[in-house]
Homo-oligomer: A and B are copies of this chain.
Amino acid sequence: MDSRGDSDAGVAEAPIPPATVRRLPSYLRALHGLAERGEERTRSAALAELSGVSPAQLRKDLSFLGSFGTRGVGYDVSELAQYITATLGIETEHRVAIFGIGDLGHALANYPGYSRRGFEVVALFDAAPEIIGTEVAGIVVHGRGDVARVLAEERVTLAVIATPASVAQAATDEAVEAGIRGILSFAPVSLQVPEHVDVRTIDVSSELQILAFHLQAGQIPTRVPGATAAGDTDRV
């Protein structure tokens, strides 16, 4: 019941492995699902199944955050959810800006699930004069000239790039210039950013291409040595 010391910088906490961080959102999602169904306690086997990982994987991952379970019993759902929330740094909502208000930008702006997940969309940008000044999802769309001012005023910390590929780098540069350190891009290009900025890219076509690869005859029996099989969302 120690080892939980979190944000008191200075102590040499063992770093959480990247692969573990990538899975924390699934665990949190599964825990919220359990909580909604009124479950107060769970076990690594149950939570792992809901998250699509092996029980050993889940326990190992949680061990990097601290020690939360009760041996012989399991985990307290809300306590664990709370701690993962704190670990991810989403106890207070992050304020998000979306660049590029086309079909995709619209869809992202209108997505209703953010607040439950720790985010709030507070700023929209587009270059097209006929869109600037209109309201999308209750937020006024600003032009490129207002980026620095609006990002500062709205205290935005994360940017989503939903522009065409051709202007994605320019939008990224503006966001970085204004101090943004986390960028989620939907543009199918490799964005160049300074070292202190983190970029994650979602490319639908790439995902489809990876699926296409597996459809081919010669590749059907993919890995899966002896494990879970179903629900393995991260094969290849």
Q: Which residues of A contact B (CB under 8 A)?
A: 7, 9, 13, 15-16, 18-19, 21-22, 24-26, 28-30, 50-52, 87-90, 94, 96, 102-104, 106-108, 110-111, 113-114, 117-119, 157-158, 160, 181-184, 188-196, 198-220, 222-224, 229-233, 235-236
Q: Say yes or no: A25 contacts B88, CB within 8 Å.
A: no
Q: Say yes or no: A215 contacts B117, CB within 8 Å.
A: no
Give the dominant DSSP class at A's interface: mixed
Q: Say yes or no: B87 contacts A212, CB within 8 Å.
A: no
Q: Say yes or no: B107 contacts A212, CB within 8 Å.
A: no
Kindly identify which residue among B90, B94, B200 contacts A207, using a CB–CB cutoff of 8 Å: B200
Q: Say yes or no: B218 contacts A13, CB within 8 Å.
A: yes
Extra inter-chain contacts (17) besides given A15-B219, A198-B211, CB under 8 Å: A7-B217, A19-B236, A22-B236, A24-B210, A26-B206, A29-B188, A111-B204, A118-B212, A158-B212, A182-B212, A184-B208, A191-B231, A192-B230, A193-B231, A194-B230, A199-B232, A202-B204
Contacts of A192 in B (CB 8 A): 230-231
Q: Say yes or no: B204 contacts A222, CB within 8 Å.
A: no
Assuming the contacts A233-B199, A233-B201, asked whether A209 and B25 have C-beta atoms less than 8 A apart, the reply is: yes
Assuming the contacts A188-B113, A190-B26, A205-B113, asked whether A18 and B236 have C-beta atoms less than 8 A apart, the reply is: yes
